[in-house]
């Protein structure tokens, strides 16, 4: 069964490299079912925050909560596989030896979903991301935009409680970036998943996000409501 969307909250997060403080008492709420874009200059800590949410890094102090479950603090850290996550990165991270269908099927195969169900779920997902007819191709025979659609399909098919994106469109040219951002927004709306979307690109954030969090030097600088997505006003931060 599809999991209910999760409210994610980080409280007083700190993370350093040596003496350099990268995240500074950072507190932020990601409302259930919304897409929040993290925007900010290079080096401000966007990917670091995403890695902390994913469980790839442990906080030095502070806490990370998914609904009423504390996922990480200085004392413990739930690993990524315990967090019901989907992740989509800039470099697609597809398995080159697998076909498109095998890549998308992978999370369900790991869960032991039986073959007939698996096949129909993959077909349906490929249709949703506009890749019907591409099932048997290898990633090397796809364009960058198509590869990123495969990565998105692989993340969505697992019906994660939370989706994390780290600059997923930044390898693509501007026109493609814009059209893919629109279709990603639609898919995120349909999935109802809580999503955190890191980008450098303000326009992309405006298309994708319900709220935009501007980070600067490891802290929240400001939070703006996305006027293009008025639905986002339904939940307070
Ligand atoms: N494992 C690490 N070891 C050393 N320094 C690190 C490590 N991870 C991050 N940093 C440093 O932390 C700072 C924030 O890095 P982060 O990757 O979070 O930035 P970012 O906002 O994602 O930047 P960009 O937009 O360029 O991707 C940078 O100065 C980076 O060099
Ligand atoms: Mg980064």
**How large a percentage of the chain has pLDDT more than 70?**
94
How many A from CA of 45 to the centre of ligand 2? 7
Final residue before a domain boundary, out of 110, 132, 159: 159
**To 10 degrees, the CA torsion angle through 123, 124, 128, 133?**
20
pLDDT for res 13: 97
Residue 234 falls within a domain, yes or no?
A: yes
Determine the 3-state secondary structure of 168 from DSSP.
coil
Residue 202: HSE in the Cβ half-sphere, 13 Å Cα cutoff = 6
Q: Which of 17, 40, 205, 219 to mutate to test the pocket of ligand 1 (most atoms within 8 A of CB)?
A: 17
Question: Within this chain, do residues 12 and 103 fall inside the same structural domain, yes or no?
Answer: no
The answer to whether position 12 is within a domain reads: yes
What is the torsional sign of CA 220, 223, 228, 232?
A: positive
Residue 170's pLDDT band, with cuts at 50, 70 and 90, is confident
**Is the predicted pLDDT of residue 86 greater than 80, yes or no?**
yes
Structural domain range at position 120:
96-159
**Is residue 89 a part of any domain in this protein?**
no
Within this chain, do residues 33 and 8 fall inside the same structural domain, yes or no?
Answer: yes
Same domain, 9 and 76: yes
Residue whose CA lies nearest to ligand 1 atom number 18: 45
- pLDDT band at residue 229, thresholds of 50, 70 and 90? low
**Residue 78 vs residues 52, 68, 202, 228: alpha-carbon distances, Å:** 10, 14, 32, 35
220 inside domain: yes
For 235, residues 6+ apart whose C-beta sits below 8 A from its C-beta are: 31, 32, 34
Q: Number of structural domains, the chain?
A: 2
Q: Are residues 55 and 110 in the same domain?
A: no
Residue 154 and residue 179 in one domain: no
Ligand 2 center from residue 119 Cα (angstroms) = 35
Whether 174 maps to a domain, the answer reads yes
| CB neighbours of residue 135 within 10 Å | 17
Is 62 contained in some domain?
A: yes
Nearest CA to ligand 1 atom 20: 43
- Checking if the pLDDT of 174 tops 60, the result is yes
- Both 49 and 120 in one domain: the answer is no
- Same-domain status, 80 and 2: yes
* 13, 20, 45, 60: residue to mutate for ligand 1 pocket, most atoms within 8 A of CB: 45
Per-residue pLDDT of 31-61, as tens digits, reads: 999 999 999 999 999 999 999 999 999 999 9
Domain membership of residue 74 (yes or no) is: yes
Domain contains 233: yes
Quote the ligand 1 centre to 54 CA distance (angstroms). Answer: 15
Least confident piece of the model among 153-157, 222-226, 232-236 = 232-236
The answer on 128 and 181 residing in a single domain is no
Residues 131 and 174 in one domain: no
Q: How far is the CA of 49 from the centre of ligand 2 (A)?
A: 9
List all residues whose CB is within 6 A of at least one atom of ligand 1.
17, 22, 40, 42-48, 200
SS in 3 state form for 63-127? EEEECCEEEECCCCECCHHHCCEEEEECCCCCCCCCCHHHHHHHHHHHCCCCHHHHHHHHHHHHH
For residue 197, the domain's CATH number is: 3.40.50.300
Q: Are residues 181 and 205 in the same domain?
A: yes
In the structure encoding, which two tokens stand for residue 209, read together? Answer: 């996000």
Phi, psi of 15 (to 5 degrees): -155, 130
pLDDT over threshold 60, residue 237: no
Check whether residue 130 and residue 76 sit in a common domain: no
Q: How confident is the model at residue 104 (pLDDT cuts 50, 70, 90)?
A: very high
The stretch 119-143 carries a mean pLDDT of 93
Closest CA to 126 of 96, 95, 105: 105
Residue nearest to atom 25 of ligand 1 (CA): 42
**Last residue of some domain: 126, 159, 192?**
159
Query: Are 22 and 118 part of one and the same domain?
Result: no
pLDDT score for 228: 64
State which of 159, 180, 210 marks the end of a domain: 159
């Amino acid at each position: 069964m599809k999991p209910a969307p999760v409210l994610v909250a980080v409280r007083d997060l700190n993370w350093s490299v040596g003496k350099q403080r990268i995240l500074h008492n950072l507190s932020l709420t990601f409302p259930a079912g919304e897409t929040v874009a993290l925007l900010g200059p290079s080096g401000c800590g966007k990917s670091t925050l995403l890695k902390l949410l994913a469980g790839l890094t442990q906080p030095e102090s502070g806490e990370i909560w998914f609904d009423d479950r504390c996922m990480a603090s200085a004392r413990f850290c739930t690993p990524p596989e315990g967090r019901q996550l989907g992740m989509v990165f800039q470099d697609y991270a597809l398995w080159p030896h697998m076909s498109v269908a095998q890549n998308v099927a992978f999370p369900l195969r790991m869960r032991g979903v039986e073959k007939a169900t698996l096949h129909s779920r993959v077909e349906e997902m490929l249709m949703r991301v506009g890749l019907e007819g591409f099932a048997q191709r290898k990633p090397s025979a796809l364009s960058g935009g198509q590869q990123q659609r495969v990565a998105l399909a692989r993340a969505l098919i697992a019906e994660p409680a939370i989706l994390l994106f780290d600059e997923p469109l930044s390898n693509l040219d501007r026109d493609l970036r814009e059209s893919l951002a629109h279709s990603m927004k639609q898919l995120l709306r349909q999935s109802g998943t809580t999503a955190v979307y890191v980008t450098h690109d303000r326009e992309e954030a405006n298309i994708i996000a319900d709220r935009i969090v501007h980070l600067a030097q490891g802290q929240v600088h400001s939070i703006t409501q996305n006027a293009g997505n008025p639905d986002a006003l339904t939940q307070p931060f």
